[in-house]
């Protein structure tokens, strides 16, 4: 099978599973954006998925994305998402390259992104990342710090469209997805970036608007 056939087959499978989960939850599948997480994958592995019709991609490192994407996306109308921790000193590069940033999680980064957006005259969609399982080693703001973080992002003029989280590994993710959905609703945010290869159907059933799928589309990293 050609690389494009393999990519097409995987993409059709993931799309069908999203549509099925959406139908079970009485949701419109068109309201769910599939982001193909291409971190660590070389351009040759990504090109077949672009050829198969995938338009949204995600990376977790600014430098890696800067090396791969300008050539890959050229003239193609793709949308690029940053899903990894962002250092404030990379805010300018991130704002220049990405269409959405899913890892806004602290005041210093909010200020750096606001300055970068003002300078670039470009305002990528922002998701505030929540440390939904209160894990020490994880990125994201604490749940009880979320109201202040959203207020600060609003004051700084960031276009916050939703919340993002990665639930703790190796436990049932549904309660964490439900909690993130509750928090988004409480704050009047429509966007919910949640769900990865192992749990995106559950996330869709609980309201995800953006699912971030890597290995199920590209194979193991
Ligand atoms: C790597 C990554 C993903 C994709 O994970 P898979 O299990 O490969 O689907 C999603 N979200 C974030 C934040 C990631 O870092």
Residues with CB under 6 A from ligand 1: 37, 39, 60, 83-84, 166, 196-198, 212-216
pLDDT digits (tens, 9 = 90+) for 162-192: 999 999 999 999 999 999 999 999 999 999 9
Counting ligand 1 atoms within 8 A of each CB, the residue from 17, 49, 58 with the most, and so the one to mutate, is 58
Counting ligand 1 atoms within 8 A of each CB, the residue from 40, 45, 60, 137 with the most, and so the one to mutate, is 60
Can you say whether residue 219 is alpha, beta or left, with left for phi > 0 and alpha for psi between -120 and 50 degrees?
A: left
- Tell me how many domains the chain contains: 1
Q: Domain of 23: which CATH number?
A: 3.20.20.10
Å from CA of 196 to ligand 1 middle: 6
Place of tokens 């750096």: 112
Residue with the smallest CA separation from ligand 1 atom 6 is 214
List the one residue out of 159, 196, 194 whose CA is nearest residue 179: 194
pLDDT above 90: residue 1? no
Token representation of residue 50: 């672009």
pTM of the predicted protein model = 0.98
Residue with the smallest CA separation from ligand 1 atom 4 is 214
Can you say whether residue 131 is alpha, beta or left, with left for phi > 0 and alpha for psi between -120 and 50 degrees?
A: beta
Residues spanned by the domain of 56: 3-218
pLDDT digits (tens, 9 = 90+) for 4-60: 999 999 999 999 999 999 999 999 999 999 999 999 999 999 999 999 999 999 999
Cα–Cα distance measured from residue 65 to residue 58, given in angstroms and rounded to the nearest whole number: 9
pLDDT digits (tens, 9 = 90+) for 59-104: 999 999 999 999 999 999 999 999 999 999 999 999 999 999 999 9
Which ligand 1 atom is the nearest neighbour of the CA of 217?
A: 9
Cα–Cα distance measured from residue 96 to residue 192, given in angstroms and rounded to the nearest whole number: 23
Cα–Cα distance measured from residue 195 to residue 159, given in angstroms and rounded to the nearest whole number: 22
Cα–Cα distance measured from residue 70 to residue 52, given in angstroms and rounded to the nearest whole number: 19
At 179, phi and psi to the nearest 5? -65, -45
C-beta separation of 25 from 70 below 8 A:
no
Residue with the smallest CA separation from ligand 1 atom 14 is 83
Which ligand 1 atom is the nearest neighbour of the CA of 60?
A: 15
Which ligand 1 atom is the nearest neighbour of the CA of 197?
A: 9
pLDDT digits (tens, 9 = 90+) for 112-137: 999 999 999 999 999 999 999 999 99
Cα–Cα distance measured from residue 155 to residue 120, given in angstroms and rounded to the nearest whole number: 18
């Amino acid at each position: 099978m050609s690389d494009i056939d393999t990519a097409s087959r995987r993409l059709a499978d993931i799309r069908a599973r999203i549509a099925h989960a959406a139908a079970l939850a009485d949701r419109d599948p068109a309201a769910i954006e599939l982001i193909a997480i291409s971190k660590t994958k070389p351009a040759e592995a990504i090109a077949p998925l672009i050829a198969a019709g995938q338009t949204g991609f995600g990376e977790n490192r600014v430098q890696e994305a800067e090396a791969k994407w300008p050539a890959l996306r050229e003239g193609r109308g793709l949308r690029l998402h940053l899903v990894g921790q962002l250092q404030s000193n990379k805010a300018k590069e991130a704002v220049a390259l990405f269409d959405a940033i899913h890892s806004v999680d602290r005041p210093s980064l909010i200020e750096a992104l606001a300055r970068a957006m003002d300078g670039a005259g470009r305002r990528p969609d922002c998701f505030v990342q929540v440390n939904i399982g209160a894990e020490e080693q994880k990125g994201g703001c604490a749940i009880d710090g979320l109201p202040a973080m959203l207020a600060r992002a609003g004051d700084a003029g960031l276009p916050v469209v939703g919340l993002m989280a990665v639930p703790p590994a190796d436990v049932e993710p549904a309660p964490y997805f439900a909690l993130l959905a509750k928090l988004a609703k409480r704050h009047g945010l429509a966007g919910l970036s949640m769900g990865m290869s192992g749990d995106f159907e559950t996330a869709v059933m609980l309201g995800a608007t953006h699912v971030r799928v890597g290995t199920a589309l590209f194979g193991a990293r």
